[in-house]
Amino acid sequence: MKSILIIEDDQTLRAQMAQVLRYEGFATLEAADGKSGVETAIRAVPDLIICDIMMPELDGFDVIQLLRGDPRTAMIPFIFLTALIASQDQRHGMEEGADDYITKPYDPQTLLGSVRRRLEKRSRQIEESRLRAEEVSLAVAAAIPQEILESLDHITTVTNLLVLKHAGDDPQIAATHQSVAQEAVRLRRMMRRLHLYAHLPQLYAQRFDLLKEQPQTAPGATVGRVAREVCRNWKREPDLVIVSDLTELPLSEDYLKLIVEELVDNACKFSIPGTPIEVTGHGQREFWSLAVSNRGPGMSADQIARIGAFKQFWTGNKKPPGLGLGLALTQGIARLHHCEFTIQSEAEVVTATVLMPLEA
């Protein structure tokens, strides 16, 4: 529900306007003067502001100047409501950043029309900004991984040569080489994920051809092997519980491995050592279900709705490792193969489930 702040010193007019807007499905906030209006706008950050010009202490021009100067409120659509009709006043309001200008006595339909137009325009601006940001992310994700992978290959070659030449000189060299090799593996995995994410739109455009070429994969052994390997890296093998039946899926083993890796890695990352990580795979009519559960702080409904690339949700001060790409990549691969991907968080138990069709 969109929220609208009304800043008006006439209590009767303010109440009538709020009633009209609530009747049309908007939530309303009210302020009786410019000072309290600015404070309310900064605190609540409404979706739109309607403000009178002639008010004590701070007039409407002062209000919009203060709000446009604050990054929290700078982009909120702003409609002036006033008895002034002089062209210089209207021009002054527009120069200060107002989006529209309505004169008193106002017509409810005119007000509602202006409110809807300004909200629609703001929604389009937000969507355009999101699309531009996504385009930049995809361009970066497509360009960077190959460069980093080539550098990693060079680093690996050089360190291997150094170890062969000097391993006998210092016992610490072998330990250092092992640590470098482990980090190189982690970075390679991260870059390959980033590269795949950048090419998901292209793969989705070719999804029907892709489905024709998909081999049949028996998930049981793959799920167990990959889940144990991920938990071994986290030193969580004793926490792992696997139950998986035998069937065949129209999904390549590489994609299945990636889904299992991301979901189990996420479960390890956001749960407490010593708590169970349950991986369950079983067939149910037309679908095969893969569910990964863990005990941890859980996720709110808002966080689940906002899952996307380069987004991470965690509690406490310690940021988890990674790019925040795992769940977004899992979503993309699920969509590519006509799978359903859901996350449920109840009583500190988070369960990620992928429903995979048994036929392409």
* Per-residue pLDDT band at 86 (split at 50, 70, 90): low
The structure's pTM equals: 0.51
pLDDT, average across residues 73-87:
80
Instruction: For residue range 308-318, list pLDDT tens digits in order.
Output: 444 444 445 55
What's the mean pLDDT in 212-241? Answer: 82
> Looking at the structure, do residues 178 and 273 belong to the same domain, yes or no?
no
The DSSP bridge partners found for residue 357 are 287
Q: What mean pLDDT is predicted for residues 300-304? A: 66
Contact predicate 81/37, CB 8 Å: no
C-alpha atoms less than 13 angstroms from C-alpha of 104 in its C-beta half-sphere? 16
Residues 346 and 224 in one domain: yes
pLDDT for the residue numbered 304: 62
CA 56 from centre of chain: 43
The per-residue pLDDT for range 193-226, each reduced to its tens digit, is 777 777 777 766 666 666 566 666 667 678 888 9
Mean pLDDT for all residues in the chain: 81
Residues 201 and 216 in one domain: no
Q: Which of 184, 205, 226 is the last residue of a domain?
A: 205
Q: Nearest-CA neighbor of 352 among 319, 286, 303, 284?
A: 303
What mean pLDDT is predicted for residues 329-358? 83
15 contact partners, CB below 8 Å, separation of at least 6:
30
**Tokens standing for residue 120:** 């629609």
pLDDT of residue 67: 93
The pLDDT, as a whole number, for residue 310 is: 42
Model confidence at 322: pLDDT above 60: no
DSSP string, 226-259: HHHHHHHHTT-GGGEEEEE----BSS-HHHHHHH
* Residue where a domain stops, chosen among 181, 205, 229: 205
Look at residue 117 and tell me if it is in a domain: no
Q: What is the DSSP letter of 343?
A: E
Do 327 and 270 share a domain, yes or no?
Answer: yes
* CATH code for position 63: 3.40.50.2300
Confidence of residue 90 (pLDDT cuts 50, 70, 90): low
49 — pLDDT class (breaks 50, 70, 90): very high
Q: DSSP letters of 276-309?
A: -EEEEEEEETTEEEEEEEEESS---HHHHHT--T
Q: How far is CA 268 from CA 69, 227, 236, 277, in A?
A: 44, 10, 7, 7
Note whether 299 and 348 are same-domain residues.
Answer: yes
Calpha distance 30→349 (Å, rounded): 40
| Assigned domain for 128 exists | no
Q: What is the pLDDT of residue 309?
A: 45
Residue 82, in any domain of the structure:
yes
353 and 218, same structural domain? yes
Does the residue 174 lie in any domain? yes
The pLDDT score that the predictor gives to residue 98 is 81
pLDDT at 182: 79
Q: List, for residues 112-167, the tens digit of each pLDDT value.
A: 999 999 999 988 888 888 777 767 666 666 667 777 778 888 888 888 888 887 76
Domain count, the chain: 3
- What tokens were used for 72? 């929290």
Provide, rounded to the nearest whole percent, the portion of the chain with pLDDT above 70.
78
Instruction: Indicate whether 126 belongs to any domain.
Output: no
Query: How would residue 40 be classed by pLDDT, with cut points 50, 70 and 90?
Result: very high
At 89 the pLDDT is 58
Q: What is the CATH number of the domain that holds 301?
A: 3.30.565.10
Does residue 188 lie within any of the structural domains?
yes
Q: Are residues 277 and 222 in the same domain?
A: yes
Inside any domain, residue 334: yes
**16, pLDDT greater than 90:** yes
Residues 170 and 186 in one domain: yes
What pLDDT score does 81 carry?
85
What confidence score (pLDDT) does residue 324 get?
A: 57
Res. 96 pLDDT band, cuts 50 70 90: low
Q: Rounded distance, CA 210 to CA 308, Å?
A: 24
Which is more confident, 100 or 39? 39
Asked if pLDDT for residue 319 goes beyond 60, the answer is no
User: 301-305, 340-344, 353-357: which range is least confident on average?
Assistant: 301-305
**What pLDDT is stored for residue 113 in this prediction?**
92
3-class secondary structure, 216: coil
Token output for 54:
């002639």
265 in the same domain as 149: no
**What is the C-alpha to C-alpha distance for residues 54 and 35, in angstroms, rounded to an integer?**
13
CB-side neighbour CA atoms (13 Å) of 24: 17
**Are residues 215 and 306 located together in one domain of the fold?**
yes
Residue 119 lies in a domain: no
Query: What is the pLDDT averaged over residues 10-33?
Result: 93
Same domain, 158 and 245: no
The two structure tokens encoding residue 199: 């090419």
Domain assignment of residue 230, given as a range: 211-357
**Phi, psi (5° rounding) for residue 359?**
-130, 140
- Cα torsion 128, 129, 133, 136 to 10°: value is 60
Q: φ and ψ at 243, to 5 degrees?
A: -135, 115
Contact 61, 92 (CB under 8 A): yes
For the segment 263-296, what is each residue's pLDDT rounded down to a tens digit?
A: 998 888 888 899 999 999 887 778 888 899 998 7
Tell whether 217 and 305 lie within a shared domain. yes
Question: How far apart are the C-alpha atoms of 86 and 53, rounded to whole Å?
Answer: 13
State residue 208's pLDDT score: 62
**Where do the H-state alpha helices sit in 82-218?**
87-95, 108-166, 171-205, 207-213
